[in-house]
Amino acid sequence: MTTNTTTQDATSGTTPGQSVLDARGVTMRFGGLTAVRNVDLQVNSGEIVGLIGPNGAGKTTFFNCLTGLYIPTEGEVRYKGQVLPPKSFKVTAAGVARTFQNIRLFANMTVLENVLVGRHTRTKEGLWSALLRGPGFHKAEAASRERAMELLEFVGLADKAEHLARNLPYGEQRKLEIARALASEPGLLLLDEPTAGMNPQETRATEELVFAIRDKGIAVLVIEHDMRFIFNLCDRVAVLVQGEKLVEGDSATVQGDERVVAAYLGEPFEDAPGKEEIAEVEAAEAHAEAHSDTTTDAAPEENDR
């Protein structure tokens, strides 16, 4: 796996900087609750874009709107200029793949079989061919297996191809999810919290894997709560708060934006003490402490009267 961070765009058929994802005015309402409100987001070829925000900000709902799991109440989502159909298998076939916040593998299938399932949108052999197992089927199956093994090699799981998915450690299950998503040969990969539950080494390895995916010409949009991961990785970061896009920019811009800090920590409440009041109280406490050292054995004054 390469960790070279330059953009080669070898497989996607797009030139760097060309629009891959163009979401405009996406709104998603559930009854009276507006989970996503009028969100615009673009991802260009060669980019890794981050989507962050506090719990319940609407990040996963937005992903679901992009991938056909939800039909947005308003707005439009285009992939390489074409409006995406509101059906998840058609979105995958169009070239947008994703992973899920909660791992969704076929636990009792092998690692290789899980990746082969991910290839179904790219195999042309029909039902009869599969049932009759004619020469066309065998050729297509061999090609699929070869590609699946390449992908397992790429994510570092080739030596576990015959293991059952459920027996993989957690971090490797997440890698397998990524390999399965890549099996549909996407031009855009959406990752929903890819490092959740990982230790720092696994997180670092995932960072390198995402760079390598980008270097293969696949644009990436990633939701993650691990800020160090996001700010190391992303060319651009968008911040969702209560369903709306609050800020978007490069890592330094987003990190330095007070509104982002406030959104994560919460706004100070109305009568919260200001800096001066806090300093006054601290000075008074320090004074009292200094005096208590010298007055402990002295005669009590007012209180004992």
Contact set with ligand ATP (CB under 6 A): 30, 33, 35, 53, 55-61
Burial of 52 (0-12, 13-18, 19+ CB in 10 A): buried
Q: Which is nearer to ligand ATP, 160 or 245 (CB)?
A: 245
Q: How far is the CB of 193 from ligand ATP (least distance, A)?
A: 7
Cα→Cα distances 237→16, 176, 257, Å: 18, 26, 12
- Residue 289 burial (CB count, 10 A): 9
Q: Shortest gap between Cβ of 36 and ligand ATP (angstroms)?
A: 7
Label residue 139 exposed, middle or buried (CB < 10 Å: 0-12, 13-18, 19+). exposed
Asked whether the CA dihedral 29, 33, 38, 42 is positive or negative, the reply is: negative
Residue closer to ligand ATP by CB (options 176, 223) is: 223
Q: For 304, which DSSP code? A: G
H helix or E strand, kind and range, residue 22:
strand 19-30
- Among residues 12 and 206, whose Cβ is nearest to ligand ATP? 206
Of 13 and 56, which has the nearer Cβ to ligand ATP?
Answer: 56
Give CA–CA dist 170/197, Å, rounded: 8
| Closer to ligand ATP by Cβ: residue 28 or 116 | 28
Cα–chain center distance at 268? 29
Q: Residue 175 phi/psi, 5° resolution?
A: -60, -40
Contacts of 98 (CB under 8 A, 6+ apart): 63, 67, 181, 189, 190, 191, 192
Shortest approach of ligand ATP to residue 214 CB, angstroms?
Answer: 23
CB of residue 38 to ligand ATP, shortest distance in Å: 15
**In the complex, minimum distance from the CB of residue 31 to ligand ATP, in angstroms, rounded to a whole number:** 7
Rounded CA-CA distance 274/270 in Å is 10
Position 240, amino acid: L
In the complex, minimum distance from the CB of residue 55 to ligand ATP, in angstroms, rounded to a whole number:
4
Q: Which is nearer to ligand ATP, 12 or 60 (CB)?
A: 60
**Least CB distance to ligand ATP at residue 57 (A):** 4
The length of the chain in residues reads 305
Smaller CB separation from ligand ATP, 67 or 114: 67
Between CA 17 and CA 272 the distance in angstroms is 46
